[in-house]
Amino acid sequence: MKKPDFSKLKDLDVKKAAKDFVYGKPHGERRLGDLYIPKTGLYKHREWRGIKDTMYYFNNIWLYNYGMIVRDLMVYGGGPKGVVQFLKGTWRYRWMGQTYLTVMHWFDRCLEGMRGETLAASAWHFRGIVSACLYQITGFFNRDLNIGGDPALRAKTIGTDETVWGGIIYPYMDQGGYYLPTQMIPYFVTCHCNNHTVLNYIDAAQAYGLPGDPCPMCQAEAGIFIEDDVPDSYVAVVTTNEACDGSVGTSVIQDWMMNKPLFAMPQVMQFDDDTVLENCAKEIEMAWRFIEEQTGLEFHWDELVKHIKLQNEQNRFEREKWDVAANTSNYPINGVAQALYRIFYSQYGERPFWHDVDKRVRKIMEKCVNEDINTFPKTRHRVIAWSCAPLYYSAWCTWAYNCWGLNTIINMDSLMFDLEIRTDTYENCLLDIAKYHEWAPMRRMAVGGLQHIFELWENMEKFNCDMVMMYDQLQCKGMQGVVGLFEDEFRARNIHAIWMPHALPDKRTVPRSQIRQIINDYMFTVMGEEPLDPSLLEFDDIDSW
């Protein structure tokens, strides 16, 4: 047995060690990379952040969230029966049984190195996301005929493509109308939480004859249906074309595999033109009629208005957050929390748990502003992330801050839904809802007309960013179709932009280590900078979640 080496103890600075124990090591001395067990992404031990922040993480994040998961299951699931359904679903569906149990490690990856208010505010965002996931998971399982779910609940439930905005169900919520985006939980969130699962779905689609080159997100979304891994929890389906050709193609497969009444609610691609809104509005009205026909629910205007008003409230707070992010150094939310929370609530629609999170975050943010707390004190560059992000490495911004001081202030997806929906008249409301649909993920700025992609420049200025993390989704035809124009513009505008290649959910195409290497190379060779934490430059996390 190897003898312990006590020689280092001689050089130990006791005072410094005590200070580090109490307050945590300062950024630059942490060596977070040393905590990893090679390949797995597991920790030899979790990070010691000083007494206060470690205990906050343990009590208010780790213990609290494990506890709240059980609480959510009971509340959203409707008591012990919900727990039974949850266990049955966990055993039946790979995306549940193999994926979501690892949820606290998603927190770990995204919150590494965070301290104080930043740690708290970012963690609250994740709490909101997890609550929303459980709301949907219990929603799926309680209605799922495959595992003995309740047919009466299913009869009032509409499945949708995940890019159909959840507001489609607002007019029916007081009657038990329920909306289940068919891919959001079985596919989209899994990639962030545990990217092992999604590979099965991509492989299933390709084994069935799909070529390897279409967008892997759409492949996976087809794969979950081919693999028979989707609950039978809804009576009919509303699908859409957002945001690309691949999404249309996926709908064809899904329609076949679901074999249920399906209403297509495609949205126009060239949305700038006001003449197209009327078309979208009519399609939305037709979708409502379809829902009513399939579920027997009635359209309640007051219910629609109630939820839209609450959603507008959320959007107003988002703008306040952006204002703080753009103009101060007091913004307490890290890049990944900002991005995932925003896209999730904007897409899924207004629900009570979001307001609870917003209330808590507002308090923290106000404290930061009032006390002028520098929330990311080691910021060297303010980064805007543009185009579609790697789902299997959404935590890259946490790594980039810890390693290089690259602070991701805002990203493209967050900016898409910036619309206050009018509720003064039915007509105005409908037109705004149509516009909201048109501005959906990857639509407004990625494929909805070239000019919107270049809104990057004005947003760089608005958010005071000096660097661009340019996501390079290798299989997104829309974005690949403009890479040269971006190169030209970056050169002409003398902008530091790092191209980050990836394949959305599929880590096999560009591993996370390669993404880090690309950023490292740029920072060393082009920026001429040295890392804040050299232990994070290279580490092997190939098999991690």
Interface residues for another protein in 51-110 (CB under 8 A)?
Answer: 58, 62-63, 91, 94, 97-98, 101-102, 104-105, 108
> What is the footprint of another protein within residues 175-214 (CB under 8 A)?
196, 200, 208-211, 213-214
User: Contacting another protein (CB under 8 A), which of 248, 305, 310, 369?
Assistant: 248
User: Contacting another protein (CB under 8 A), which of 252, 316, 466, 491?
Assistant: 252
CA distances from 298 to 158, 311, 430, 444 (A): 14, 21, 17, 31
User: Contacting another protein (CB under 8 A), which of 12, 17, 31, 278?
Assistant: 278
- Residue corresponding to tokens 């909306």: 179
Residue 499 as a binder of another protein (CB under 8 A): the answer is no
> Bridge-partner residues for 473, per DSSP?
502
Minimum distance, C-beta of residue 441 to another protein, in the bound complex (Å)? 16
User: Contacting another protein (CB under 8 A), which of 29, 34, 293, 538?
Assistant: 293
Minimum distance, C-beta of residue 44 to another protein, in the bound complex (Å)? 8
- Which residue, 226, 227, 206, is CA-closest to 215? 206
Nearest residue (CB) to another protein, 218 versus 368: 218
Nearest residue (CB) to another protein, 233 versus 294: 294
Minimum distance, C-beta of residue 145 to another protein, in the bound complex (Å)? 13
The continuous run of DSSP H or E covering 17 comes out as: helix 14-23
Residues 6+ apart with CB under 8 A from 111: 57, 61, 119, 122, 123, 126, 334, 398
x/- map, 468-487, another protein, by CB under 8 A: ------xx-xx-xxxxxx-x
Residue 215 as a binder of another protein (CB under 8 A): the answer is yes
Cα–Cα distance between 224 and 204 in angstroms, integer? 8
Identify the sign of the CA torsion 540, 29, 324, 311: positive
Nearest residue (CB) to another protein, 121 versus 265: 265
Binding footprint of another protein, residue count (CB under 8 A): 83
The continuous run of DSSP H or E covering 386 comes out as: strand 381-386
Cα–Cα distance between 522 and 490 in angstroms, integer? 15
Pairing of strands 178-181, 467-473: unpaired
Residues in the chain: 545
Residue 313 as a binder of another protein (CB under 8 A): the answer is no
Residues 6+ apart with CB under 8 A from 4: none
Nearest residue (CB) to another protein, 176 versus 261: 261
Residue 160 as a binder of another protein (CB under 8 A): the answer is no
> Bridge-partner residues for 275, per DSSP?
none
> What is the footprint of another protein within residues 227-246 (CB under 8 A)?
227-229, 239, 241, 244-246
Residue 275 as a binder of another protein (CB under 8 A): the answer is yes
Cα–Cα distance between 316 and 320 in angstroms, integer? 6
CA distances from 433 to 267, 291, 296, 298 (A): 11, 17, 23, 19
* H helix and E strand count, the chain: 25, 8
Residue 3 as a binder of another protein (CB under 8 A): the answer is no
φ, ψ for residue 36 (rounded to 5)? -80, 145
Residue 283 as a binder of another protein (CB under 8 A): the answer is yes
x/- map, 419-458, another protein, by CB under 8 A: ----------------------------x-xx--------
> What is the footprint of another protein within residues 331-390 (CB under 8 A)?
none
Nearest residue (CB) to another protein, 272 versus 466: 272
